[in-house]
Amino acid sequence: MSRYVGAIDQGTTSSRFIVFDKHGNIVSVAQKEHKQIYPKPGWVEHDPLEILANTSEVIGAALARANLTASDLAAVGITNQRETTVLWDKATGKPLCNALVWMDTRTDQLVQRFTKDGGQDRFRAKTGLPLATYFSGLKLLWILENVEGARKKAEAGEALFGTIDAWLTWNLTGGANGGKHVTDVTNASRTMLIDLATCDWDDGMLKHFNIPRACLPKIVASSAVYGEMETAPLRGTKLAGMLGDQQAALVGQTCFAPGEAKNTYGTGSFLLMNTGTDPVQSKAGLLTTLAYQFGDEKPRYALEGAIAITGALVQWLRDNLKLFDVAPQIEPLARSVEDNGDVYIVPAFSGLYAPYWKDDARGVIAGLTRYATRAHLARAALESTAYQVRDVVEAMEADSGIKLAALKTDGGMVANELLMQFQADILAAPVVRPKMTETTALGAAYAAGLAVGYWQNVEDLRANWGVDKTWEPKMAEDVRARHYKSWKKAVQRSFAWVE
Ligand SMILES: Nc1ncnc2c1ncn2[C@@H]1O[C@H](COP(=O)(O)OP(=O)(O)OP(=O)(O)O)[C@@H](O)[C@H]1O
Ligand SMILES: [Mg+2]
């Protein structure tokens, strides 16, 4: 039997390939960033061909680094930035335009068009989602309406739609020569085009949005053998797992029981709680989404608090304001002052997602005085992450009726200990960092490994989870209340900016 399982983690900022052993330890990893394309305010694009090339490159690099070949891998799973939308030519494999990235806001006019009669929540009962620029179905509609020839090709089945999971899978399993055109339930649940109850494309939604069925992929389980890789160096290796990145992190954190939850701090931050085999409707501004489906088992659902911008604000301070050279330097800078100097940043760069769902919000820095320094900005940036997470934790507790005993965390930002302590302080609850924080890739590996019997069941996976560090809240209640009140005030200031 092969010794390892591989995972492609195609994220918003970079692509990774990680090889895991049976205990969920990393054997080898390679990573490469891709270009972020900002053609105008609010627009964010990626080049799908660059993403594909980088994915192949990191697979090769990670294998070479540990001297591995295809025969060392029992299977490969894919996890991906969600909602990012590609439409490509079935005959040539060429994208009809750049990918519209999840945080792109150009569909705001479409959102308005559909909100006009029936309101923002008119499709919530069926799809679990509010009308917002975030989801992939309207991004596809934008392409169909704005890219020349797109609709005609899509209707004829000559152009194929997919989020990044489908784009990579189609290419890796043969592309124009018989590539598999599939997407898993978790990614499909972000299109706003499926019925949550049946996990299938919904005729009513397709009709509302005028989306031709002919361009849509087949919806499959998150853990199943989809096909074999057709490209070197993994030719013949089974592709057997597919999960949106946040759902993959839920699996990587082994949140398999209803009520179990995790929060991932990356480009954005995403709190997901497993709600078992029933979709739970949100009244507090969360999303209802597919959590995973393993083989023939019933699909599992989750409540999700999606925050668009957390780590991306750190990148913005680094790249646009040049406050530091690399992300980890934000921590000593922020620690060089005692507190935020009464500065609050609301990073509503793409509007505000959960629990507010305001497409027309834009970023604000509030509370500036002559006293404020770059160190206060750094501190306010980290704190804005913690406040946004408290907003969604409160919504999660309201919707689920479950008080979070502790917050399980992962993602790139959890290296920041100042943030972790502040998070515990502002939540008034312990914050737990597990030993393995690459949970996104790990979840995809788990899905693939389960499908081919590399792991037998979820108990095998649970045994791999362990705590690295726990932060206990230390802040006085009155200080916490004062800070959070100011945060809420700043959030109000960000609303209704775009007219
Ligand atoms: N020490 C740190 N302190 C604060 N933020 C950090 C630190 N290290 C990394 N980050 C931020 O974390 C993010 C990277 O985390 P991670 O790699 O989990 O992101 P990601 O969301 O998985 O990326 P992608 O979107 O490409 O998948 C970046 O936005 C970066 O600014
Ligand atoms: Mg990621």
Residue 294 has pLDDT above 80, yes or no: yes
Where residue 392 falls (left for φ over 0; alpha for ψ -120 to 50; beta otherwise) is alpha
Asked if omega into 48 is within 30° of 0 (cis), the reply is no
Average pLDDT over residues 487-494: 98
Ligand 2 center–CA 59 separation, angstroms: 16
Percent of the chain with pLDDT over 90: 95
Which tokens in the block code for residue 476?
A: 């006085």
Residue 436 has pLDDT above 70, yes or no: yes
Distance CA 171, CA 247 (A): 23
What's the pLDDT band for 232 if we cut at 50, 70, 90? Answer: confident
Average pLDDT over residues 376-384: 98
Average pLDDT over residues 475-486: 97
What's the pLDDT band for 406 if we cut at 50, 70, 90? Answer: confident
Average pLDDT over residues 231-239: 93
What is the reported pLDDT for 499? 85
Query: 3-state class of 191 per DSSP?
Result: coil
Ligand 2 center–CA 298 separation, angstroms: 26
Closest residue by Cα to residue 171 from 20, 12, 8, 61 = 8
Closest residue by Cα to residue 366 from 347, 338, 385 = 347
What is the reported pLDDT for 2? 79
Q: Which residue has the tokens 């020349």?
A: 148
Q: Report yes or no: 489 and 446 within 8 Å, Cβ to Cβ.
A: no
Ligand 2 center–CA 440 separation, angstroms: 6
- Binding-site residues for glycerol sit at 82-83, 134, 245-246
- Binding-site residues sit at 12-14, 16, 82-83, 134, 245-246, 267, 311, 315, 412, 416
* Average model confidence (pLDDT) across the chain: 96
Residue 1 has pLDDT above 80, yes or no: no
Ligand 2 center–CA 133 separation, angstroms: 20
Ligand number nearest to the C-alpha of 315: 1
User: What does the DSSP assignment read for 233-280?
Assistant: TSTTPEEEEEEEHHHHHHHHTT--STT-EEEEESSSEEEEEEEETSPP
Chain segment 72-117, per-residue pLDDT in tens: 999 999 999 999 999 999 999 999 999 999 999 999 999 999 999 8
Residue 350 has pLDDT above 90, yes or no: no
What is the reported pLDDT for 140? 98
Distance CA 390, CA 189 (A): 25
What's the pLDDT band for 327 if we cut at 50, 70, 90? Answer: very high
Pocket of ligand 1 from Cβ distances under 6 Å: 11-14, 81, 245, 266-267, 311-312, 314-315, 327-328, 330-331, 411-413, 415-416
Which value, in Å, is the radius of gyration of the alpha carbons in the chain? 21
Residue 414 has pLDDT above 70, yes or no: yes
Half-sphere exposure of 444 (CA within 13 A, CB side): 29
Which residue has its alpha carbon closest to ligand 1 atom 27? Answer: 11
Closest residue by Cα to residue 406 from 391, 383, 424 = 424
Chain segment 206-218, per-residue pLDDT in tens: 999 999 999 999 9
Distance CA 415, CA 433 (A): 9
Closest residue by Cα to residue 438 from 406, 460, 463, 409 = 409
Chain segment 32-80, per-residue pLDDT in tens: 999 999 999 999 999 999 999 999 999 999 999 999 999 999 999 999 9
What is the reported pLDDT for 243? 98
What's the pLDDT band for 437 if we cut at 50, 70, 90? Answer: confident
Q: Report yes or no: 291 and 280 within 8 Å, Cβ to Cβ.
A: no
Chain segment 13-33, per-residue pLDDT in tens: 999 999 999 999 999 999 999
What's the pLDDT band for 146 if we cut at 50, 70, 90? Answer: very high
Prediction pTM value: 0.93
Distance CA 268, CA 266 (A): 5
What is the reported pLDDT for 92? 97
Ligand number nearest to the C-alpha of 416: 1
User: What is the torsional sign of CA 390, 384, 312, 287?
Assistant: positive
Ligand 1 pocket mutation, candidates 9, 10, 13, criterion most atoms within 8 A of CB = 13
Q: Report yes or no: 214 and 155 within 8 Å, Cβ to Cβ.
A: yes
Length of the chain: 499
Residue 219 has pLDDT above 70, yes or no: yes
Ligand 1 center–CA 214 separation, angstroms: 37
β-partners of residue 64 are none
How many helices and strands, by DSSP H and E, does the chain display?
16, 23
The angle, 0 to 180 degrees and rounded to 10, between the axes of the packed helices 245-252 and 439-451 is 80
Q: Report yes or no: 84 and 140 within 8 Å, Cβ to Cβ.
A: no
